[in-house]
A and B are shown apart, each in its own frame.
Chain A
Amino acid sequence: MQNILAVLLQLDPNQSSRSLFAGDTSIWHNMADALHQSLDRVLLLLIAVLPGILAFLVALAVFTLIGMAVSALLRRGLAAAKLDERLVDERGNSNWAPSTSPTALIARASFWGCVLLGLIIGVLAFDASYATTAILSSSLLPYLTRIVGAAVLLIAGTLIARFLARSVLIGAVNEQLQYARFLSLGIKWLVLVLTAAMVLEHLEIGGNIVGLAFGILFGGIVLTLALAVGLGSRDLVSRSLESRAEHPGQSSAPPPTAIADDSIRHF
């Protein structure tokens, strides 16, 4: 800055305008150089990464094809060997559905085994081609495994949430609870919130905020459920207490339900 001021004070107006133009040109040059350099660096990075990506894709595609071939061969071979029938004969009345017969399971397992192998080989090839050039390699690969772990967590959590929600819904309906759907939704969201918190924690996103938000949400859902169930069964509780107060010696019998009717014998 001082240099610029010195130049402005010492030189005449005509000279000064030319120098300023020259200085402006140098700024543009510097900017262009900086941009070129960063572009070069990015291109170099891409050139370094590209073989790795290609190797990853080729490995995955090749092993997927191998998996398909192995799966088809196994399916045919095991069907010819009548593995399903033999297992049923040996193990008795097993619970194999057509979609989950032993042959189908083995074929499917072999296919996904090959895909997994391709994935591992692809990632290793990517690592090998990338490791020499960049600082990112030390952080990207572990993060990739974290992403895979988070995806598995998310899938498992969603499946568990769905299973528990259905179990609670059917159980509550068969117990004739009017708030069956609400209870089921509550359970589902409890598990989903727990899953989301675990996924974010696994990905190291959000830090303490995730734990805090999860605690607030989880507590909120539990409180909502407790209030809903408590308020919903308020009449039932008051009736029970009233009948106990009127007949202190007797235990209050619940009203007959669809299943527990004494005049009906289902079996």
Chain B
Amino acid sequence: MATADLNPGVITPSAPPGNGLLVLLAAMTPEQLDSVFAKLTVSFPGEELLIATPDAISEALPASAHPSFRIVAAPASNTAWTLIATDFVNAYQLAEKHEARAILVLGSESGSLSSFALRQLANAALGPTDLAVPCYDLPPHAGLVNSAILYPLTRALFASRVRFPLAVDLGFSLRMAKRLADAAQHFTAINQGETPLWPVNEATEAGFTIEQFDVGSHVQSSRPDFNTIFPLVIASLFSDIKAKAAFWQRFRPLSPASIAIPMPPAPTIDTAADIAPMLSAFRLAYSNLHEIWSHVLSPNSLLMLKRLAATDAAAFRLSDNLWARIVYDFLLAYRLRTINRGHLLGALIPLYLAWVASHFNITASGANPEGHIEAVAAAFETEKTYMVSRWRWPDRFNP
């Protein structure tokens, strides 16, 4: 991959960065770029910093404002909401070209992170840690797909406590970058470069060290299209789990908690979300998608969903174990291609909305949201034996 100089006055020939760190930025607006540059200036005072960005450095952001930065061009990514396979290939190639020892990848909204957090991620990557991941402090009604599926599934199968497995801000060592680039090349070779990659799963499988840092609040301004992104993310995670089946089927103890996960307060009545549209979506799906669900879910799960569909909004609770089994059954159906994969993941959306409605009901009753998410993750761990049994003997094992 060739990198083109953006501004000849700014770019210096490829030489190792002062501290060995390459900062790779996502595509940003000038305001976002300005904010990130300001944070990096505070994080790395007086240090020479190699920054790769796909954005053109214009007059609005003169290079003279940040004399310690060496700015090089990076290929633009088509996807802003997450890191994709192409990003990891580019990151490794840039790191090799500029002889960097570690890489700090920052998403388009990383300007909202604290300077201290950026420094922590960079220091960890430059130190003995292979993968430094952020733990965002999100509001209770944010990051719900992560809380419902990504985090519990990653924790149960890969024994990792990383709270945000699909974080867009990451720090990683050169060997981790190589590992990720190798994994990413499988996708780029078959023109699937926009597939999200799962760094935590890769690091766990490789036996690399992972460290998680509390980076504070994270402002999200973009709103990706849910109906498009949800199947894409879940399909990518399911495929990754399928590819690493030999690894996660062996029992591994859960890594000890390194940091205290920020506990957002339970939402008050004023901030509680309206669950009525979600419940109506679930009930509509129950009356229409029952036939499709019956190909995937066990009769017991279907019976419990039937009862749930008839439950009042106030008493609506999707039990954690039922949710874990639903996700596992969909994962198995994905593996076995029980039905078309696009249909399968589309049929999961109403069930996910039922989980969200149930989660909101539980938190509205005074329970801490993070406490409930931890309970869901624990249920996934409990049900892992069911998952492993069905994975090994899909025809013989009938619940």
Binding site for B on A (CB under 8 A): 88, 91-93, 95, 97-100, 163, 166-167, 169-171, 173-174, 176, 178, 180-181, 184, 256-261, 263-267
Closest B residue to A182 using CB positions: B288
Instruction: Compute how far the CA of A256 lies from the CA of B337 in the bound complex, rounded to whole angstroms.
Output: 34
In the complex, what's the smallest C-beta–C-beta distance from B338 to chain A, in angstroms?
Answer: 9
**Tally of contact residues, B, Cβ under 8 A:** 55
A–B Cβ pairs within 8 angstroms, 17 of them: A91-B186, A93-B186, A93-B187, A95-B341, A97-B336, A98-B336, A167-B342, A167-B343, A169-B288, A176-B280, A184-B288, A256-B274, A256-B277, A257-B281, A258-B281, A258-B353, A264-B142
| Inter-chain contact A95/B289, CB cutoff 8 Å | no
0/1 string, B167-196, CB within 8 A of A gives 1: 000000000000000010111011000000
Please judge, given known A-B contacts A167-B342, A170-B343, A173-B285, whether A92 and B190 are in contact too, CB under 8 Å.
yes
Closest B residue to A89 using CB positions: B186
| Inter-chain contact A266/B226, CB cutoff 8 Å | yes
Residue of B220, B243, B288, B356 most packed against chain A (CB within 10 A): B288
- B240: chain A residues at CB < 8 Å are 93
Instruction: Compute how far the CA of A171 lies from the CA of B350 in the bound complex, rounded to whole angstroms.
Output: 11
Interface 9-residue window, one of B70-78, B113-121, B143-151: B143-151
Q: Is B247 an interface residue (CB 8 A)?
A: no
Q: Is B388 an interface residue (CB 8 A)?
A: no
Closest A residue to B147 using CB positions: A266
- A93: chain B residues at CB < 8 Å are 186-187, 239-240, 242-243
| Inter-chain contact A166/B343, CB cutoff 8 Å | yes
Instruction: Compute how far the CA of A264 lies from the CA of B359 in the bound complex, rounded to whole angstroms.
Output: 12
- A173: chain B residues at CB < 8 Å are 281, 284-285, 288-289, 350
- B226: chain A residues at CB < 8 Å are 259-260, 266-267
Residues in B91-105 with C-beta less than 8 Å from chain A: none
- A100: chain B residues at CB < 8 Å are 337
| Inter-chain contact A258/B144, CB cutoff 8 Å | no
Instruction: Compute how far the CA of A176 lies from the CA of B287 in the bound complex, rounded to whole angstroms.
Output: 12
- B314: chain A residues at CB < 8 Å are none
Please judge, given known A-B contacts A95-B239, A174-B346, A261-B273, whether A180 and B142 are in contact too, CB under 8 Å.
no
Name B143's contact: one of A170, A171, A260, A267 (CB within 8 Å): A267
Closest A residue to B345 using CB positions: A170
| Inter-chain contact A176/B281, CB cutoff 8 Å | yes
Residues in B216-262 with C-beta less than 8 Å from chain A: 220, 223-224, 226-227, 229-230, 233, 239-240, 242-243
0/1 string, B272-298, CB within 8 A of A gives 1: 011001101100110111001000000
Instruction: Compute how far the CA of A97 lies from the CA of B289 in the bound complex, rounded to whole angstroms.
Output: 24
Closest B residue to A100 using CB positions: B337
Closest A residue to B353 using CB positions: A258
| Inter-chain contact B335/A170, CB cutoff 8 Å | no
Closest B residue to A184 using CB positions: B288
| Inter-chain contact B346/A257, CB cutoff 8 Å | no
Closest A residue to B224 using CB positions: A267
In the complex, what's the smallest C-beta–C-beta distance from A64 to chain B, in angstroms?
Answer: 25
Closest B residue to A166 using CB positions: B343
Q: Is B347 an interface residue (CB 8 A)?
A: yes
- B81: chain A residues at CB < 8 Å are 267
Instruction: Compute how far the CA of A11 lies from the CA of B195 in the bound complex, rounded to whole angstroms.
Output: 106
- B141: chain A residues at CB < 8 Å are 263-265
Q: Is B63 an interface residue (CB 8 A)?
A: no
| Inter-chain contact A91/B190, CB cutoff 8 Å | yes
- B285: chain A residues at CB < 8 Å are 173
Q: A92-B185, A93-B187, A173-B289 are in contact. List 16 more A-B contacts (CB 8 A).
A: A98-B394, A99-B336, A169-B289, A170-B343, A173-B284, A173-B285, A174-B349, A176-B280, A176-B281, A176-B284, A257-B281, A258-B280, A258-B281, A261-B277, A265-B220, A267-B220
Instruction: Compute how far the CA of A97 lies from the CA of B333 in the bound complex, rounded to whole angstroms.
Output: 10
| Inter-chain contact B292/A166, CB cutoff 8 Å | yes
Closest A residue to B229 using CB positions: A267
| Inter-chain contact A267/B146, CB cutoff 8 Å | yes
Q: Is B58 an interface residue (CB 8 A)?
A: no
Q: Is B64 an interface residue (CB 8 A)?
A: no
In the complex, what's the smallest C-beta–C-beta distance from B189 to chain A, in angstroms?
Answer: 7
Instruction: Compute how far the CA of A266 lies from the CA of B284 in the bound complex, rounded to whole angstroms.
Output: 20
Instruction: Compute how far the CA of A256 lies from the CA of B144 in the bound complex, rounded to whole angstroms.
Output: 18
In the complex, what's the smallest C-beta–C-beta distance from A26 to chain B, in angstroms?
Answer: 71
| Inter-chain contact A265/B342, CB cutoff 8 Å | no
In the complex, what's the smallest C-beta–C-beta distance from B311 to chain A, in angstroms?
Answer: 17
In the complex, what's the smallest C-beta–C-beta distance from B282 to chain A, in angstroms?
Answer: 8
